[in-house]
């Protein structure tokens, strides 16, 4: 538990770790401090931006959206490893998360499963957004992963924290999937190695879980609603339907393996719960599964995603 680093101290820590840092406008005084406390700080949170293009990404993270004003983080980690500073205080990045996770970060112990959203993460975490589409396919260049490692180590070193103080958004808030495309356990091990600490333990491999094939599921979602009766074009639909029942989005009587209109509507509500929208402005989610939404559902309800 500590007071937040002043801007010059944070810059010095990042540059001392070998990072190229770009200062974006008056970032030192760009914050959301009028909306709540900034500090005491307890850790570093890593996100992906779900955007492409460094210029556009930095602008979004600095300015935010109409319903979520910026800054949306403290720094943006670009594909080339450069770090763009956009915020110098409380930022809209973490939202509400699990108080048990916060307690684990404070005590620097292994993280519990996040299943609550009642603690104010914006008050307690530095936030860094890494430029990536977050679709499970956009690559993570080695130079960018190294920059994430260096950023995390720099803040931890400045505060005297260990790698246990570095978490992903998906470990903080239920339903979040970011950062998608690399493991936070492995990243913490890298940070620990850079700090010269004992690496946090990497959990044992999970037991074999059922696998839902994404392309087959998408095909079912596109074709089943228009077919007469309740044909089962892909048995894995049933696994998804059971998960939607557990989320309170689908009635049990509709679990039949047929990705019909009712299941399509239930899945669209799951997408909207994650903040997903239609392909055009103003459109609702369409209910056709995508990698991010299906991975999030599988992580919460015990199945893997293949295809």
* Tens digits of residue pLDDT in 24-59: 999 999 999 999 999 999 999 999 999 999 999 999
Which ranges in 213-282 belong to alpha helices (H)?
A: 214-223, 237-246, 261-273
Residue pointed to by tokens 């990243």:
187
* Tens digits of residue pLDDT in 88-143: 999 999 999 999 999 999 999 999 988 889 999 999 999 999 999 988 889 999 99
Of 273, 263, 262, 261, nearest to 300 (Cα)? 273
For residue 212, is pLDDT > 80? yes
The pTM for the full model equals 0.71
Which ranges in the chain belong to alpha helices (H)?
A: 7-16, 54-63, 99-107, 121-124, 142-159, 184-195, 214-223, 237-246, 261-273, 291-301
Report the C-alpha gap between 156 and 100 in whole angstroms: 20
Report the C-alpha gap between 205 and 191 in whole angstroms: 21
Of 174, 187, 57, 70, nearest to 122 (Cα)? 70
Around 47, how many Cα atoms within 13 Å sit in the side-chain half-sphere? 24
Domain ranges in the chain with CATH number 3.40.80.10 = 7-195
CATH entry, 7-195, from 3.40.718.10, 3.40.80.10, 3.65.10.10, 3.30.540.10: 3.40.80.10
Of 164, 167, 162, 135, nearest to 148 (Cα)? 167
pLDDT (0 to 100) of residue 62? 97
Report the C-alpha gap between 103 and 170 in whole angstroms: 16
Class of 211-306 per CATH?
mainly alpha
Three-class secondary structure of residue 111 per DSSP: coil
Of 211, 210, 103, nearest to 164 (Cα)? 103
For residue 205, is pLDDT > 70? no
Spell out where 17-130 has E strands.
Answer: 21-23, 43-48, 64-65, 68-69, 75-77, 83-85, 96-97, 119-120, 125-130
For residue 282, is pLDDT > 90? no
Report the C-alpha gap between 101 and 91 in whole angstroms: 19
C-alpha angle with apex 138: 172 to 277, nearest 5 degrees? 65
Domain ranges in the chain with CATH number 1.10.101 = 211-306
Q: What does pLDDT average to over the chain?
A: 91
* Tens digits of residue pLDDT in 242-266: 999 988 999 988 999 999 999 999 9
């Amino acid at each position: 538990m500590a007071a937040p680093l002043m801007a010059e101290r944070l810059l010095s820590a990042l540059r001392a770790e070998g990072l190229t840092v770009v200062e974006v406008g008056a970032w030192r005084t760009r914050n959301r401090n009028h909306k709540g406390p900034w500090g005491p700080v307890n850790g570093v949170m890593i996100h992906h931006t779900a955007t492409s293009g460094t210029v556009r990404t930095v602008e979004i993270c600095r300015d935010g959206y109409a319903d979520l004003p910026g800054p949306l983080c403290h720094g943006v980690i670009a594909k080339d490893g450069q770090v763009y500073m956009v915020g110098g205080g409380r930022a809209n990045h973490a939202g509400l998360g699990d108080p048990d996770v916060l307690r684990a970060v404070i005590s620097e112990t292994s993280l519990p499963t996040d299943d609550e959203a009642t603690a104010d993460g914006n008050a307690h975490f530095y936030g860094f957004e890494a430029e990536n589409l977050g679709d499970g396919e956009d690559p993570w260049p080695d130079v960018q992963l190294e920059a994430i490692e260096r950023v995390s180590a720099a803040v931890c070193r400045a505060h005297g924290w260990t790698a246990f103080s570095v978490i992903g958004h998906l470990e903080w808030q239920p339903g979040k999937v970011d950062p998608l495309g690399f493991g936070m356990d492995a990243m913490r091990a890298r940070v620990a190695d850079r700090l010269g600490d004992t690496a946090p333990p990497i959990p044992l491999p999970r037991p074999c879980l059922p696998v839902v094939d994404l392309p087959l599921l998408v095909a079912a979602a596109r074709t089943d609603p228009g077919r007469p009766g309740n044909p089962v074009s892909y048995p894995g639909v049933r696994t998804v339907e059971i998960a939607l029942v557990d989320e309170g989005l689908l009635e049990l009587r509709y679990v039949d393996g047929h990705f019909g209109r009712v299941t399509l509507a239930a899945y669209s509500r799951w997408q909207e719960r994650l903040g997903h929208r239609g392909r055009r402005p103003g459109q609702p989610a369409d209910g056709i599964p995508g990698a991010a939404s299906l991975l999030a559902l599988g992580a919460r309800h015990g199945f893997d995603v293949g295809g």
